[in-house]
Amino acid sequence: MSLPHDIATAALRCIDPESAHHAALLGLRAGLGPRARADKFPRLRTRLAGLDLPNPIGMAAGFDKNAEAPDALLSAGFGFVECGTVTPLPQEGNPRPRIFRLSADRAVINRLGFNNAGLDAFAERLAARAGKPGIVGANVGANKESADRASDYVRGMGRVWRHAAYVTANISSPNTPGLRGLQERGALEDLLGRVREARAPLEAAHGRRPLFLKVAPDLDDTAIGDICELALAYELDALIVSNTTLQRPAHLTSLDRGEAGGLSGQPLFQISTQVLRVFAQALNGRLPLIGAGGVESGSTALAKIKAGASAVQLYSSLVYHGPGLVARLLDDLDGLLAADGFDNVAEAVGVNGN
């Protein structure tokens, strides 16, 4: 059933990664993507930070930076889709080439640098899908040249609030110099204080939205403890663990393994899942987690869930497995949950947390 999409995926791997990405988006916008029912398996329905998800498999930010194809992605079977990262002003990002396939490692290195068309275009596209079904979130970031990055997050949140099902503040990209410094306690306290102040009038005007924070995998235990403490104090609704890593595991074999940027895909799985587990232990059920990094099968999705994630996100695995992966993953995950005796996703969350 997914053979044409598998052939298309193989063909896209024959051209440079950034051109392939644009071609994939064009194909989705043209209605050429796969179709799968997101709600096919009742066992996979779950609730995350007040959102009712038809399944726990989400599209991570980075694929659809400008909110061009969220409905096509939902039609492929995703339980939720996160668009962005979007910055207040349009920006080109870093010079090309800036995406590298590490095919032998089923990995990707990118140093895109928040290339996007800016908030106005992004918000207009989200506004145009008003009334359509499906959970579409907005991931907001800061411009590279911004003199006040915290204000960029406040501005982004304010612009997308009424149009998005949830909002994520991305403070963990390694490709905007100094951005990860926002994860440090003092900077994060300032950011979250300003975000909380801006949130109240938005909720009064347009209703409540869950607010998430996306963090890096390259954090020590002290930083993890600080982030957990502040996330609870400033009433965030979930954490996304994690973004790409600056680490380069010794087992990488691809020629481009030394390129600068964030590493994603299969080699990120163990790194990000261990950090997820530490976050889950620190939070002890007080805040839900979304697991990202190396999800490419039902078993890797279930491992994230058992480590403490209420839902997971993927992106890089689509480069190697194609958009038909989502339907296969849902079928696989449903079977694995059933084999383990779980009636729903929530029962499996955190069972292997220690």
Catalytic residues: 173
- CA 8 centroid distance within chain: 24
Beta strands in 17-158 (DSSP E): 46-48, 51-53, 57-59, 80-86, 99-102, 107-110, 136-140
User: Backbone phi, then psi, for 112, in 5-degree steps?
Assistant: -65, -45
Tally of residues, the chain: 354
CA atoms of 125 and 46, how far apart (whole Å):
27
3-state SS string for 299-340: HHHHHHHHHCCCEEEECCHHHHHCCCHHHHHHHHHHHHHHHC
Sorted by sequence, the CB contacts under 8 Å of residue 255 that are 6+ apart come out as none
DSSP 140-167: E---TT-S-HHHHHHHHHHHHTTT-S-E
CB 107 within 8 A of CB 266: yes
Beta strand pairing call for 136-140 and 167-170: parallel
CA atoms of 143 and 153, how far apart (whole Å):
10
CB 77 within 8 A of CB 326: yes
Instruction: Say which DSSP state 240 is in.
Output: E
CB 238 within 8 A of CB 48: yes
CA atoms of 42 and 167, how far apart (whole Å):
26
Instruction: Say which DSSP state 112 is in.
Output: -
Find the distance separating the first CA and the last CA of the chain, reported in whole Å.
40
Tell me the one-letter amino acid at 82: E
Place of tokens 């596209």: 125
User: Nearest-CA neighbor of 65 among 125, 15, 109?
Assistant: 125
